[in-house]
Amino acid sequence: MNAVKWIVPAAAVEAAVTGLILIVSPSLFAWLILGTELSPAGNALGRLAGIAMIGAGLAAWWPFSATVCSTTAAVPGFTIYNLFATIYLAYLGIAGQLVGILLWPAVALHAVLLVLLGRHWLAFGSK
């Protein structure tokens, strides 16, 4: 059996599961891996990292074919990542507890990428 046939899906599942754990409880993850708790800012960044890892897992899992380049195959994962990153960062800003100088520009950047990637995904999916 070709190693890539099981290694890539296994790595995608590992990334997605790790991401899910980071979203649910970043402090627990940090305690289990590093032996320490996280600050509130560390929890927020841990959740954002979890969102990114789920997006990466989806991008790697997305079915490839001979006619689809790897860039196009990664679009759904990056679209989903930008969707949830936009939502989560906007939530942090609206809640008002963790607002840095670049929070709202980051929300805007993720929203723009979401629209551009979503348009590409819809255009690719309709062909």
Distance, in Å, from the CA atom of 115 to the CA atom of 79, rounded to the nearest integer, reads 8
Q: How many domains does the chain have?
A: 1
- Best CA proximity match to 12, nearest among 77, 69, 70, 66: 77
Reply yes or no on whether the pLDDT at 31 is more than 70. Answer: yes
Reply yes or no on whether the pLDDT at 82 is more than 70. Answer: yes
Reply yes or no on whether the pLDDT at 24 is more than 90. Answer: yes
Q: Which two tokens stand for residue 24?
A: 């649910």
Per-residue confidence band for 125, with pLDDT thresholds at 50, 70 and 90: low
Phi, psi of 66 (to 5 degrees): -65, -25
Distance, in Å, from the CA atom of 67 to the CA atom of 127, rounded to the nearest integer, reads 12
Q: Which two tokens stand for residue 92?
A: 């942090």
Reply yes or no on whether the pLDDT at 126 is more than 70. Answer: no
Domain membership of residue 49 as a residue range: 3-125
- Amino acid 28: pLDDT: 92
> How many angstroms separate the Cα of 126 from the Cα of each of 25, 40, 91, 122, 123?
38, 42, 32, 6, 5
Question: Is the whole-model pTM more than 0.75?
Answer: yes
Per-residue confidence band for 78, with pLDDT thresholds at 50, 70 and 90: confident
Q: Which two tokens stand for residue 74?
A: 């990664």
71-80: average pLDDT: 78
